[in-house]
Amino acid sequence: MDRKRLTYFTFSLLILILIVVVLFARGATRRSGHITLPDADSGGQGSDQAVNSGDSALNLVEITPETVQTAISTMSRPAVYSRTVTVETFWDGGSRSLDAVVYERNGLTRMDSQQADGSTRHLLTDGETTCLWYNTSTDWSTFPAGSFSQDTEQRLPTYEDILLLSEEEIVDADYSAYEGTYCIRVVTAEDAYGYATTYWISVDTGLLAAAETYLGETMTYRMQGLTVDTAEPDASLFLLPDGSAFPT
């Protein structure tokens, strides 16, 4: 190969390499990755983001009142977990705080919820059949679950209800942090009675991390369930109080 042809070949190769490098760089800048959320202390919102929630990804440019329902519809709760939920209610001159411990495993949900009279109610359900007993009793009642949901039983506002709202009923939505937990935040408009609710849905677990309801400027309700243990709960927790298996 003579010098002229070698020079031409070398120049063409360099041009080809340059084109490949440019295309690779452009592709890398367009590739979607995990979101870079703001520092937990800042409480700010992020944009141009994609968030992993469990095994599902929220591949949205940003969370707004117009897009938040699409994001929430992709979220799912973990199949196995346990957590403690604290529910507080407030009224003129007083307040009350009650706890519920929730266990989820293989389609069964158990809730041990503190009652206002100091007793503990135990509830075990598969979403179709519900068994209920109190304290250390070995007797239980069985009834169709009907409209039962674990959120209703925990007296939690259900974030799935957001999907039923019109865009006009959602006044604000974004990514934000609630006490160090990265969340999708949704603020509803006041209802016919003047109540408005803010939801914080964990982008890590898909569970409702917190909710607050206000009547005007006055808080009337607060729920928090920030710590989630994704270890599988012990199988004995899902037995009836006499040690027998849940009816199937």
Per-residue pLDDT tens for 4-58? 444 444 444 333 333 333 333 333 333 322 333 344 444 444 444 444 444 344 4
pLDDT given at position 60: 42
Using pLDDT thresholds of 50, 70 and 90, give the confidence band for residue 155.
low
Integer Cα distance of 61 and 152 in angstroms: 32
- The model carries a pTM of 0.69
Rounded Cα distance between 189 and 101, Å, is 30
pLDDT at residue 211 in the model: 93
> Residue 154: pLDDT above 80?
no
Beta strands per DSSP E along the chain: 49-53, 56-60, 81-91, 94-105, 108-114, 120-125, 129-134, 141-144, 170-178, 181-188, 195-202, 208-215, 218-224, 228-229
pLDDT score, position 156: 60
Return the pLDDT at 37: 38
Tokens at 237, concatenated: 């927790």
The structure tokens listed for 171 are 């006044």
CA 207 – CA 76 distance, rounded (Å): 8
Could you tell me how far CA 162 lies from the centroid of its own chain? 13
Higher pLDDT, 19 or 222: 222
